[in-house]
Structures are given as C-alpha cells and as structure tokens.
Structure 1
C-alpha cells in the first residue's frame, strides 16, 4: 500500500530544508582588509619599483595606484612568484601577474626584437625585480634573505601584509605585489623617511644654499675635572667655552 504525502507536508519539508543553515565548508578565500598604517611602506618602495620598471619594461606603463592589505590567506593563481626565507623566521614573496608577459610581447614592436624573434623574458624580469626590491628592503630590515625555489606561498605565521601596485601597460591592467610576513614588519622600527641620491640640479641648489650661509660656529672648551662630590643629585656642573670662533 502506497503512502501518500499531503501537499502541506511536502511544503513544510521543503521550507525546512532550504531554510536550514549551510553545513558545507566555504572554501572561497576571504578578501584582504585594507590597512592604511602600512601604506607608507607601499609608497616608500614605489620609488625603487618605478625606477626598475622604467629600465626593464620596454613599453609605456604607469603605476596607477598602490595600497596595503592584511590577511591570512592568499591566492597563487595567475601570478609568477619568487620567495625568500628571512632568518628562518619570516617569509617574503615577490609576485608578478602572468598577463604582464602577454601584454609586453603584444606591444613589443622594436625592429631588432622582430628581426631576432626575441620575446620578453618574464622569468629574468621577475628575478631582477626580486633582487632590486630585496636590496631596497634590506635598508629597513637588517636580515639575511635566502631565496627559496618553491613557487608556493607559505608563511611561518598566519598574517601577512600585501603591498599592491596596480599598473597600466598600454591601456591594460597588470599587478605587482610584495607579500611580507606581518611579524617581520612589526619586528623592526621602520624609518618613515625616504632617501634618494640628489640629481645634478639638486646638488647645484645645495651648493648655492651652502654659499648663502657664510658663517659657521665652532665652540672650544677646556677639559673639565669632575670630582665625586660634584656627582650629587641636583648638582649643576657649569661648562663654559674657552672662546667662540666665527669662521667666514
């Protein structure tokens, strides 16, 4: 004998199934969070990155934006990756979007390249870029960087900082990223100042400025004999210069 289910029972069953919470695990990678406090690093290394790109990308480009993010999961898809182990405590990765190779080869129209059938060497580009950026990072992170030959991103700790640079190459979008272990950034006191070698015009202006300040002051004092009795709390030790010399 067949058991017939009423329409009301079926409707109630469907409502129960489709209104129940999702039990399957969500494997999608969560988006990274913008972290403004690290944006000054992206700005600081932007200068070195642009200098490198000017000499190594044979087509017109522009860095249209840069930003900083913090997260604990990262996608490796569509990127060429060079990794570094730092003091066996931290990890650093330089990532270049794969489409850079196709964009540049598409617009590489020099006669000599066509004659020799030369293609843009993306691996050589990535290696030279990595060396340049690591050399720049060493000014702020006095550590030993050892290259690792594994194209898999794996950090010692969960959180990392992503410095993202978006490029416009002949009207097409591409991306270069630096992924730095967050504990590595937090382990040092990074100077916010950006130093660069002055240009020829800058050197001339500095010389002109120095010529406009004709006086320097030199203060010479005698050796001072400080006895134990003078080293008391609240005791003042007066130091008088022997003379002050002005030099034109």
Structure 2
C-alpha cells in the first residue's frame, strides 16, 4: 500500500519532532517535508529520501521510528507486533522475581532467556548510568555510563536465579570488559546486576567457580553491581530476534563460534595442566 501525500507529511512531521531522531536524519526529513509542501512530486521525493537513508538502513543503523518509516517507503511490511510494556511487571510477589544482566548488545540477550520455561517477560533497555531517560544514541555514545541490558521476570517455581546466572555465563566472554564480541565500548561490558543479598551471594559464588575452573587464560572481569533504574528502549529494539530473524541468526552464529573456540582452548589448556602435573 503506497503512502498518500497526507500520510507522508504526517509521518515526516512526527519524525522531525521526535527527540530520538538524529540531526542528520532530521535534516533530510525536513528537506523532503519542505519539498512536499511546495507541491513537489511525492514519488520522486520519497525515492530521493530512500536513496539518502539507504546506506544506514542496510546496516540497520537508522533510529527506530525512522527505520519503520523507511520500511514504509520501500514497500516493506512494518513490524506490527508491539511490545506490551504494561505487562512487564511482577504480579505475584510470592512466586515471581526479576534478574538483570548486561552482556553486550541486548539484541542477542533476549532469545536465550525468553525461550526458557519459567520466563514470564524479558525487556531490553539500559541501566547502571547517571542520566535519566537516556536515548539509544546517548547510550551508544558511551557518555551516560549505562550498559545495554535485559531485565527478566521469572517464575521461581519453574526456574531459579542460579539457573539464570549459569545460563548467563554461557552467553558472554567474561574476560572482556571493553565490550562483547563485535560490539565494542563500555556500554557493552558484562555486568550482573543484583537486587538483594541473596542474588549477590549466588552471583559471587558462581563467578568464583568460573574463575576457579581454569578455563580462561585472561582474568574474569565481569562485574557484579547493585541494580539501579532500568530504562526500557523503544519498541523497535525489543525482541530483535523475532523482528529480524535472518540478521539475528548471523550475529548469534558468530557469537556461538567465538564462545565454542574459547571453550575448546580452555579445555585444551586444562588437559595440558593436568598432564603436566602427572
């Protein structure tokens, strides 16, 4: 379904006023809006806008709402499923709890947890920083002190916090505090955020076991910090693995290969040490 001029102008106005829209995006959107207001040809103007946005769209590097608008003007179906933020809350304080983990880009941290039995909700967002209501770009710049993270609500009758922590170690490189895998920067460093003494004890004991396992040549640098305000990221970035399955599979494959290679090196090193002692 093609956009009408009225629909295009409405979307352009909203994107221009959107605080998350980047300055460069806003400049090309304003240029297109001004041209349409002077009765320039709609198809020609949208084609020109598409050409300007295309390089960033190909790399999936447009801000969320601009990316959705780009999908509209190229005729792709826009993801209709919306994350229901109102449902991400604890309803049963006796049998529900929450956990927060920072393990690199939140795109790859949702699916491994969300597909486990006993997980009620997984929310992507930012935490651990010093700026209220941080935008995606602000966190990406590293200036706010936040890390990308996931907040998990789980049913304690079906899965324990210890099981979540054990899974977490399988998803990250605990020796890298400058980022994770292809994602570089402090906003991607691995951190376990604990909300009480019980979670801290479990996390610290688990980290100790990882260190004592001898699997890693480099020091285990994953931090353990108290939880702080968790700021959800906008809908566009929620449940990335469902909205962008092909790209997610490529990223996941890269991470899995790296972790497998790292584990194999650890096993070889441990066997060598064992033989050497004998």
Band the TM-score falls in, shorter-chain normalisation: under 0.3
> 1 or 2 for the larger relative contact order (CA 8 Å, sep ≥6)?
1
Structure with greater strand percent: 1
Structure with greater helix percent: 2
Larger radius of gyration: 1
The normalised TM-score by structure 2 is 0.20
